[in-house]
Structure 1
Amino acid sequence: MKGMGGQKVLLVHSSSNKPSSGGAGSAGMGRRRVCLVLFLACFACVSLASLLSSARDTSSVGSGGGGARRRASSAGRLAVSAAGGGRGRSGGAAAAAAEGGDATGPGLPEYVFDALAQYAAAAGNSSGGSMPGGDVRAIAAALKRRAPCNLLVFGLGGETPLWRALNHGGRTVFLDENQYYVSHLEGRHPGLEAYDVAYTTTVREFPDLLEAARAARAAECRPVQNLLFSDCRLAINDLPNHLYDVAWDVILVDGPRGYTASSPGRMAAIFTAGVLARGRKEEGATTDVLVHDYEREVERACSREFLCEENRVPETSTRSLAHFVVRGGSAVRREAFCGGGGATAAAQ
């Protein structure tokens, strides 16, 4: 047994390492699980918010190129009038941006402008229902000097897309007596800004209306006034208010209808164009006013009375189109439309 005496025996006692259900280890693991759940919840919320934000951005980009309907919010319209009034050419681009309509920025490249005008003039020469090619070229030449700008057009027709395209980057507004035609063209040309006008005149009343306007030249039919509150029968005062505050650079009178005795005639349109041009507040500001169908008695007489022969530009006029450059600002005569002989010339 001596061999056994020099060895040591090590005894190992097994013990259970399983913690009890109420121990500290269980509490620690529970806290870790709660933290993990909270982390996953926060991560999910952040991811969802990012997805929604991306969806909104995509939606706004996709819909931003669409034109605003003509009955847009009054706040947006007021912003447009503030941008358009008093800044001449630059006001048109700012106005279009506020409207959400036509694209803003520089005008068309010259070669694109000329190509559009050339093809439209050629179409006018070959089609009896379109504006004569010479008139198209004359209007395009006047517009080319001002575009992009604030352009007001009385009348809707076959040339409507052309005027809007040539004034790319500016603001183009159309006025027409037919509300159904306005709605029709708005549907065909998204972003078109057009309004219907309720005219209270007829061609058969032209002599009496002209005589009454002459008699009230120093009162309700004066050259410089607030058209919104005018009692002159030739004043158009039912347009959206913000349009009266826009500094119009070019006004084209190609409506309303005037070829029958019961048609509204263009007396009110020409008178209103003359007042809008003279009412511009910027010193030295001018407005190009173009009157189509000038060979007719009403258009010729009213243009001479309210736009004045002294303001006519013969080199950019044709037999059926008259071009006038009317000045605004403080130097405008407030007691008469013309410097002299306006009434006499109209009566001839």
Structure 2
Amino acid sequence: MPGLLLETLNGKRTSRTPMWLMRQAGRYLPEYRALRAEKGGFLDMAYDSEAACEITLQPIDRFGFDGAILFSDILIVPHAIGQHLEFLAGEGPRLSPPLVDAALESLTPDLSRFEPIYETVRLCRKRMPEGVTMLGFAGSPWTVATYMVAGEGSRDQHEARAMAYRDPDALQAIVDRIVYLTVDYLSGQIEAGAEAVQLFDSWAGSLAPDQFERWVIAPNARIVAALRERHPETPIIGFPKGAGEKLGAYARETGVQAMGIDETLDPEWVTRELPQGMPVQGNLDPLLLLAGSAELELRVATILRAFADRPHIFNLGHGIDRRTPIDHVHRLIAAVRGFEG
């Protein structure tokens, strides 16, 4: 039997609001920190299928969430494309050579880097409690391209944005390569057992409207269409963080079945803007969860009421902060599951 989360993604109103949290498998959990101390760096664990499966299931064991999100990273795709990937303590990911001054053609692909990720999905599906939905994911092409071009993250994605104006053909070639491999990568996750997948476009909000159409909507639409052909029954969640007033165009033009909503958007506006009946996911501010103030329960109720007339998955507006106390997560779960309208 499909779980509540999967039923919601398929457009059904369920007996209670299902929930999971972006980045729920990670550093805020003491069991994750203990395993990382034993196993080593982040990338080592992402490619260790046994460890990655254990991490994926840790928040399910502790909190009983309705969905388990694959423990991995959006930069697995550029690593498979041929860039060297490392995670530096306190500095984040580094990709080399950065494509701002290196040719895409100079990279040597290694698609075997996808295999441990597929094995993680297979292991998790075998060990998953009944009714919990296995979620796969990938980074959307624009967000992944920003890292590939600059070699690292940045506050304003200036290297990729400048390339989009200065040499759009070069950026298009990078985006096309990401699209091609992402379709295969997500298809592989689905074949391994992912029941739904999410496209993370964490830097979608940095683009002007015409650039948003080219670098966010168009590539995601190509991925969704290709996946729909291969796996017509698998729901796809789009999450264009920072899309703002462009959210409706993304929802209508990409073909995703459900929309992830970031914390900057008024849920009342969202429910008016999106197609009627489209499932939504979100959108509590992760910093409110971190703070754990008296406003937490009030905001949960506001979100639940705003989305009461459409299928809704409760989630954060972005990833859970690593400093979030466990007690605050328990408070959140109690507020969502105890809500009576």
TM-score by length of 2: 0.32
Higher helix share: 2
Q: Name the larger-Rg structure.
A: 1
Q: Which has the higher contact order (CA 8 A, sep 6+)?
A: 2
